[in-house]
Amino acid sequence: MVICAATGNAGKLKELRRILSALGHEVKSQKELGINLEPEETGTTFEENALIKAEAICKASGLATIADDSGLVVEALGGAPGVYSARYCGRHGDDAANNRKLMENMAGIDAGRRGAKFVSAVTLMLPDGRQLTCLGECPGRVGMEEKGTNGFGYDPLFIPDEVGTRDGKRLPNREGRTYAQLEDWEKDAISHRGNALRKLQQMLPLFLG
Residues 6+ apart with CB under 8 A from 132: 123, 124, 200, 203, 204, 207
User: What residues form DSSP beta bridges with 89?
Assistant: none
Helices (H), 107-180: none
Using DSSP, how many helices (H) and how many strands (E) does the chain show? 5, 8
**Pair 64, 125: CB distance under 8 Å:** yes
- Considering 68, 69, 155, 188, which one is annotated as catalytic? 69
Vertex 171, ends 169 and 177: CA angle to 5°?
Answer: 120
Provide the 10 A C-beta neighbour count for residue 84: 14
Q: Is 94 a catalytic residue?
A: no
Chain centroid offset of residue 126 CA: 21
| Residues labelled catalytic | 69
